[in-house]
A and B are shown apart, each in its own frame.
Chain A
Amino acid sequence: MKRRHFMGTTAATLAGLAIPTPLRGLAAIRAPWLLAPMDDTQADHLKAYGVAFRALERGEKVEWLLNYRSGSFLLPGSAATARDAALAGVTVHDADAGAVTSIRAEIAQANMDAVPLEKAPRVAIYSPPNAAPWDDAVTMALEYAGVKYEKAWDQEVMQGRLSDYDWLHLHHEDFTGQYSKFVLNYAGAPWLTEMMQRNQDMAKALGFDSVPAEKRAVAQRIAGFVEQGGFLFAMCTATETIDLALASAGTDIAASFADGTPMAADANARMDWSRGLAFENARLEQSPTMAVFSDIDGHQVNSPDRRQELGAFTLFDFSAKIDPVPTMLVQNHRQVIPDFYGLTTSFNRRTLKPGVTVMAEEPGAPWVKYIRGEVGQGTWTFYGGHDPEDPQHQIGDAPTDLALHPHSPGYRLILNNVLFPAAKKKELKT
């Protein structure tokens, strides 16, 4: 026998020596509720969202205790939930009627609220088929927390399938159809060639002349989904480019490598910002070689002379009883969070539409990080940056392993958005 095998086994044996007795008590839990604290005592903040989500999937009622111990969850004291929390390594405490009464009394007297969560939202991630999950922060967060989702891409969107979902996530898609403007710098790279081919095939299959035209149509369908009451959450480039695509209806803003013709000379003057969700009065980036789209992004990571250093962003406090929606979206155990780059990292205040709610900003900087707004019956949230735990994210970086970041405050913001559509409808009106 090789020594390492022996060592491995005996080391495992040694590891087991600390165990006193097997736990047989899960079935005997008698407390009516379980409190999952979300302050620093929580062993795994991200998986706690999954436990809450799965409780909703089982038809159980969950309450989100806004601002109570950093946004704790009051979960049903069922054996299934206790088991789920134990498996996930999520800290939960038994809460009897007296404890819950005491919690409610505390909530009533402070800037806190208890929001009932009723139904697990149907989640879709806008992603091409066969895309690995490890380059999209939301997919990684959902996978890690164990939140079920489906994938939808251009075909599903154009077929009207978005109505099957409550919540749609967009990540680093370029809705201007310019392949994130990587073409000149990464020409010949296999991943880019494959991405271009896939998009061109899809545009052709859907009957469009070019990828920019097809992506704009997709963007319009997504905007329609929000109008009809959908929840849209976007990060990174998707935030900026969906608005550029919407505002540029009838105007060519794509470089010639994308559609065979250069950007219209008067493109800036012809942008109709009333069609967009969040931004207005932005200036388009004219250079086809620079992976920058406009001056919406405050950090301009790919513009050598405009690139800004990363700082930290601060979450705003909202009134839990009056403004439960933004309050839900900023629940966190950290108020100040280190910033992280993306093709779109942040949003210049100057380009925000008047009705936009800012939920996080870098104090003193001309940009904000995390915004939301409402359109028709639906709502959207934009979160700048690519991966909260990989601040300098570069193409080809190793995937982020969230087991190493179970307390990530940046990822918590993503998961706040996933649970937010589960809140009881009447609570969503601000």
Chain B
Amino acid sequence: MNRACSSILVLMLMLLGTPGPLAAQRPQVPGDLGVALDAERRGDFGAAVAAYQRALAANQADATALLGLERSLEPLNRSHEMLGPAQAAVARAPSPAAYSALIRAWVAHRNIDSARAAVSGWSALAKGEPAPYRELVHALVRTRQRAEAKRAVEWGRAQLGNDNAMAYDMAQLRASEGDWAGATREWLAAARELPGYRLTALAALTPVPERERAAVRTVLGTERTLEARELEAGLLARWGDPDEAVKLLIAALPPDRVRASEALRGFASGLQTRPGAARARGAALEELARRNSGDAAARARVEAAQAYHQAGDQAGARRVLAALPAGRGGAAAAASAASTLIGVLLSEGKPAEADAELDKLRDRLPADEWQALRRSVALGWARVGQLDRGEASLIGDSTVEGLAMRGRLAIFRGDLKGGVDLFRSAGPYAGSREEAAHRTALLALVQPIAADTLPALGAALLALERGDSARGAESLEQVGEALPADKGGAGVMLLAASVRGALGDSTDAEALLRKAAASEVAATAPAAELELARLLLAQRRSSEAVSLLEHLILTWPQSATVPEARRALDEAKGAVPPT
């Protein structure tokens, strides 16, 4: 904040803090209107109605009193009493507020002809404006008269000579009937009238059921505008095909750089937090960079590289980073690019190169960010089997996150006692929530093991860390077999089963889960039975799953897994709607 802003803020705070005289200068609502507003605020609607009525007796055209009366009658279920005051207000001084109240009153009385007459009266004051018709439509929708509301839209369109008028309202009416194709036509019209409706349309059409989506795309396909393509691409991305969506959008982009950039930026922003859409976002940002130059292009490239990296597309990230001209985009962009590059290098299994890049960043990044990257590099060394180099990278890192990382490396080395001690020193809150949960899970796995060191387990966990799940699972099985079931063997077996399941090897996963379940180790057996039941349910072997879940509930009634087991049992039996 600059100095001028600070001064203004200080002045404002001083004024706010001033008692008495300044407060007294607040405008006071006089007489009955003030009484009415106060009663309404207190929820005393009876008193509010009486006071509003007194205010209207003094001035029938008082819009504040008229609308206040309408608000207060509603919770008392006396809305029908609005007709007289609204008629009087219109007769005394026709105004939009008076007419809108009169329209609502006639609709509440189900007298649509009179409501239309009021619309015509208002329309004479505001020629060519859709507001009177829209008021009628809203009043009809509020009272659940949808068919009449649609007729009101059509009437308004005819009167206004505009087939697209009130498209926003018609779109919602069509959608409420499940007419998604009709709703799409209306949304397109609404977005033509006011481009801001495109985002509303996107949100409104996202829930279209799968069976209706082709019809929606057909309607969108009839319009050959960028707006239609933007909407289609946005919907496609939200319906689970972001890669196809970005291709569709890029193919439809006009030569106009500004408009194309706007479309690409809007598309990319919409995907920022959407799971599974990082690659498509990267592609949109890469195209954005290609269509721009200078710092804007550089910043887009950095963002694209980050998105590709997040999507696991390291080649894409490298390609974009390679095209990044040195010195463009400012210091922050350069630092972000370098951080992204380190991530890419680590993902590619090149910790030495990442280490070298990190050294260059020492003076350009805040210390905590630099240390976080340093820990990533340490893990990168571990992933290529160089635990010594990893530990060396952590020298001088006295943070709790550093202790936690050293604990992980110790466990990869097979030093279970050392790892557990370091985890304890790090405490339960070091790092992100995900890291903390991962650490707790590791503790639960290794603590029952009697031995202080178990290199085979460390190697198996390291294999998993490197993404070599098949080897990791095999090694875990061997470790699990070698350990006594109640001294960590069952838990390791359960982990091996989970890895097998994730690999799609359900036969092995089932066999391992059965072994873990049969161990009757209190800490593991119920969890293994629950996992096994879920596996069986996924294979539509419901009766086996039901037996297993029943066994779990009856055998381990105090297990924390029992509520989950009961839920799974209910679902398996069809006793509750499927989750």
The interface of chain A, by Cβ under 8 A from chain B, is 1-3, 5-24, 26, 83, 86-87, 89, 133-134, 143-144, 146, 184-191, 287, 289, 302, 304-305, 307-309, 398-403
CA distance A8 to B501 in the complex (A): 12
Neighbouring B residues of A22 by C-beta, 8 Å? 520, 522, 525, 555-556
Question: Which of B145, B464, B472, B566 interacts with A89 by CB under 8 Å?
Answer: B566
The answer to whether B194 has its CB under 8 Å from any CB of chain A is no
CB-defined contacts of B286 to chain A, threshold 8 Å? none
Q: Which residue of B lies closest to A309 (CB)?
A: B77
- Which residues in B have their C-beta under 8 angstroms from that of A400? 577
Question: In whole angstroms, how far apart are the Cα atoms of A5 and B467 in the complex?
Answer: 13
Stretch in B20-28, B300-308, B437-445 touching the partner:
B437-445
B258 beta carbon closer than 8 Å to chain A: no
Cα separation A414 to B566 with both chains bound (whole Å): 23
**The one of B495, B503, B560 that contacts A10, using a Cβ cutoff of 8 Å:** B495
Contact A23 B555 (CB under 8 A): yes
- On whether the beta carbons of B502 and A5 are closer than 8 Å, the reply is yes
Question: Is B437 in contact with A20, judged by CB distance below 8 angstroms?
Answer: no
Question: A19 CA to B529 CA in the complex, in Å?
Answer: 14
Main secondary structure of the interface of A (DSSP, over half): loop
B152 proximity list for chain A (CB < 8 A) = none
Determine how close the nearest CB of chain A comes to the CB of B527; give it in whole angstroms: 4
Q: Are B573 and A146 in contact (CB under 8 A)?
A: yes
B240 within 8 A of A: no
B213 at the A interface (CB under 8 A): no
For the complex, is B7 an interface residue (Cβ under 8 Å from A)?
A: no
Contacting residue for B441 out of A2, A13, A20, CB 8 A: A13
Contact (Cβ within 8 A) A10 B441: yes
CB-based contact A143/B561 at 8 Å: no
With A5-B501, A11-B437 in contact, do A289 and B522 touch (Cβ < 8 Å)? Answer: no
Tell me if A304 and B143 are in contact (CB < 8 A): yes
**Assembled-state Cα–Cα distance A87/B568 (Å):** 12
Bound Cα distance A22, B107 (Å): 67
Cα distance A14–B437 in the bound complex, in angstroms:
11
A-B contact pairs, 17 of them (CB 8 A): A3-B438, A10-B442, A10-B444, A12-B527, A12-B530, A13-B491, A15-B564, A17-B523, A17-B560, A19-B556, A23-B557, A87-B554, A144-B575, A302-B144, A304-B110, A304-B145, A308-B77
| Chain A neighbourhood of B424, CB < 8 A | none
Q: Which of A16, A26, A83 is the most central at the interface, judged by chain B CB atoms within 10 Å of its CB? A: A16
Q: Chain B residues with Cβ under 8 A from A83's Cβ? A: 554
Tell me the smallest distance from the CB of A367 to a CB of chain B, in Å.
14
Q: How many A-B residue pairs have CB under 8 A?
A: 174
CB <8 Å contact, A186 and B498: no
- Confirm or deny: B574 has a beta carbon within 8 angstroms of a beta carbon on chain A: yes
C-alpha spacing A302/B110, complex, angstroms: 12
A9 to B526, CA, bound (A): 12
> Please, which residue of chain A has its CB at the minimum distance from the CB of B566?
A89
* Leading 9 A-B pairs by shortest Cβ distance: A10-B441, A304-B143, A9-B498, A12-B527, A15-B560, A19-B522, A5-B502, A399-B577, A16-B527
A14 touches B441 (CB 8 A): yes
Residues of A close to B520: CB separation below 8 A: 22
Q: Which residue of B lies closest to A83 (CB)?
A: B554
Q: Assuming the A-B contacts A19-B556, A144-B575, are A403 and B145 also in contact, with contact meaning beta carbons closer than 8 angstroms in the complex?
A: no
Is there an interface contact between B80 and A305, defined as CB atoms closer than 8 Å?
A: yes
Beta-carbon contact of A144 and B570 below 8 Å: yes
Chain B 488-506 per-residue mask, 1 if CB under 8 angstroms from chain A, else 0: 0001001101110111000
Q: Which residue of B lies closest to A190 (CB)?
A: B178
Contact between chains at A7 and B437 (CB < 8 Å): yes
| A288 to B79 CA separation, bound complex (whole angstroms) | 23
Bound CA span A133–B573, Å:
13
Does residue B477 face the partner (Cβ distance < 8 Å to A)?
no
Interface status of B336 (Cβ within 8 A of chain A): no
**Taking each of A3, A19, A185, A302, which has the highest tally of chain B beta carbons within 10 Å of its own beta carbon?**
A19
Q: Is B487 an interface residue (CB 8 A)?
A: no
User: Inside 8 A of A8's CB, which chain B residues have their CB?
Assistant: 498
Bits for B435-466, please: 1 = Cβ < 8 Å to A, else 0: 00110111011000000000000000000100
B559 at the interface (CB under 8 A from A): yes
Q: Is the pair A5, B499 in contact by a Cβ cutoff of 8 Å? A: yes
Instruction: Determine the distance from Cα of A308 to Cα of B75 in the docked complex, in whole angstroms.
Output: 10
Give chain A residues whose Cβ lies under 8 Å from the Cβ of B530: 12
Contact of B560 among A16, A26, A134 (CB under 8 A): A16
- Report the Cα distance A398→B577, complex, angstroms: 9
Tell which of B147, B434, B527 touches A184, judged by Cβ atoms closer than 8 Å: B147
A144 CB to closest chain B CB (Å) equals: 5
Instruction: Evaluate contact between B576 and A19: CB separation under 8 angstroms.
Output: no
Identity of the chain B residue whose Cβ is nearest the Cβ of A22 in the assembled complex: B555
Pick from B145, B434, B499, B554: contact of A289, CB under 8 Å: B145
* Residue of A whose beta carbon sits closest to that of B211: A190
- B547-579 interface (Cβ within 8 A of A): 550, 553-562, 564, 566-567, 569-570, 573-577
Q: A13-B524, A133-B574, A287-B110 are in contact. List 16 more A-B contacts (CB 8 A).
A: A6-B441, A9-B498, A11-B437, A13-B494, A13-B527, A16-B523, A20-B558, A22-B520, A23-B557, A86-B553, A89-B566, A146-B575, A185-B146, A186-B177, A191-B178, A403-B570
User: Are B558 and A19 touching (Cβ within 8 A)?
Assistant: yes
CB-nearest residue of chain A to B109: A305
Which residues of A lie under 8 Å from residue B110 when comparing CB positions?
287, 304-305
Give the shortest distance, in Å, between A143 (CB) and chain B (any CB).
5
Contacts A23-B555, A289-B145; A16 near B77 (Cβ below 8 A): no
User: Is B438's CB under 8 angstroms from A19's CB?
Assistant: no
- What's the Cα separation between A21 and B520 when bound, in Å? 9
Q: Are B577 and A13 in contact (CB under 8 A)?
A: no
A23 to B551, CA, bound (A): 10
- Could you say which residues of chain A place their CB within 8 Å of the CB of B525? 16, 22
| Minimal Cβ-Cβ distance residue in A for B444 | A14
B108 touches A305 (CB 8 A): yes
Contact of B79 among A134, A185, A305, A402 (CB under 8 A): A305
- Nearest CB on B from A204, distance (A): 26
Query: Which B residues lie within 8 Å of A399 (CB)?
Result: 577
Q: How far is the CB of B438 from chain A (nearest CB, A)?
A: 6
Chain B residues contacting A186 (CB-CB under 8 Å) are 146, 177
Closest chain-B Cβ to A94's Cβ sits at a distance in Å of 15
Cβ of B421 under 8 Å from chain A: no
Q: Which residues of A contact B169 (CB under 8 A)?
A: none
Closest B residue to A184 by CB, please name it: B147
Q: Is the CB of B438 within 8 A of A23?
A: no
Is B469 an interface residue, CB under 8 A from the partner? yes
